[in-house]
Structure 1
Amino acid sequence: MTNNSKSSTSMFSDLYNNEIIGSIGVFSVINELSPISCAKVMLILPFLFHNDLVRYLNHSSTKVKSIEQLILKKPEFISNFNERFYDLIETSFNSILILNSLDIIYINKDGKIMINEGNKNKLLKDLTKNKIGIRASNMVKASQKLAYLLTEDVDNLYLQLRVKL
């Protein structure tokens, strides 16, 4: 195998964690938290593409009050966040570009990403499990709790998640 070729694990990850499902996840969180900074949007997919974390957020008894509490309760979900952040940076960026090119989101004059209310049904009118699949449906369901976590100060989020810039 040459240095330029991808491993089969990486290729599977690219197929599994792609821009289509990424766009659904990013849209779902922005829809809960619009307006949102670009820096916070870049944190969405490393959260939503972690299936165990999504399952945890979707559990009815889960009440997460802060990113610090999540880290204390479930450090295994955050331990490789920096790696996931950089692995998914291209997918995150492309998902934002897709939503912007479809005129579903836009960046306002303050640099915040916002939902274009008139076009938000362009992505999918029905974000139910039978229309978008179980995985995407679970991500949509987790978006409200994730949006709440992302209301924290952006500098604190990057610091707590140990994202190295």
Structure 2
Amino acid sequence: MLNSKFLYNNEGICAFGIMSILEIMGELSYSKVMLIAPLIFNSNVVKFLTTNSKIRSFEEFRIKQVSSVSKFNSMYYNFLPLTINTLVILRDMNFIDIEDNIIKLKRPLIPLVETKKIGKRANKIIKASPKFAVLLKENDEKLYLQLGVIL
């Protein structure tokens, strides 16, 4: 079996992550969507968010998950092409609209899939999506600064 992060972290899983958050928020800025893949593909973050942990702000999350956030800049750039590919696929399938730096939900994806068939990993990401949505309510610039993304 191939041991490749590019097969493990793919557009399908990324689509479930983006769509599960978009289905909660309705729309997101392009810059916030670029932060989703590095978060959902971090197993420590997903594990933390699927527990009974309370998250009231991004600052609180960052304090509780220092090690997960410490290498975020490199993860951001590693997952940038995957995120862009996923957005193109979702747009071409008419799940989203991309206009003026805003990605808007056009129609939901999550209710259309059988959760038993998408696997445990995708289901954990979907389960954590309400807490991911809380994290993404912060200002774009503040998120990028706190995550240490160097543009």
Task: Report the TM-score, using the length of structure 2 for normalisation.
Answer: 0.93
Is residue 91 of structure 1 aligned with residue 82 of structure 2?
yes
Structure 1's unaligned 5+ residue stretches are 1-7
Larger radius of gyration: 1
Structure 2 unaligned runs (5+)?
A: none
Structure 1 residue 126 corresponds to structure 2 residue 113 = yes
Q: Which residue of 2 aligns with 1:30?
A: 22
What is the RMSD of the two structures over their aligned residues, measured on CA atoms? 1.5
Residues 53-110 of structure 1 show CA distances to partners (whole Å, capped at 9, x for unaligned) of: 10100102x11111111111120110111111011000011111111010000024x4
Amino acid at match of 1:69: E
Percent of matched pairs sharing the same residue: 36
Superposed, which structure 2 residues align to 1:1-165 within 5 Å?
A: 12-60=4-52, 62-108=53-99, 110-117=100-107, 120-121=108-109, 125-126=112-113, 128=115, 130-165=116-151
SS at structure 2 position matched to 1:43: helix
> Number of matched residues?
150
TM-score by length of 1: 0.85
Amino acid at match of 1:115: L
1:126, CA displacement in angstroms?
2.8
Give 3-state SS (helix, strand or coil) of 2:24's partner: helix
Verify the 8 A CA contact 1:127 1:137 in the aligned structure 2: no
Q: Does the 8 Å contact 1:127/1:140 carry over to 2? A: no
Q: CA deviation at 1:22?
A: 0.9
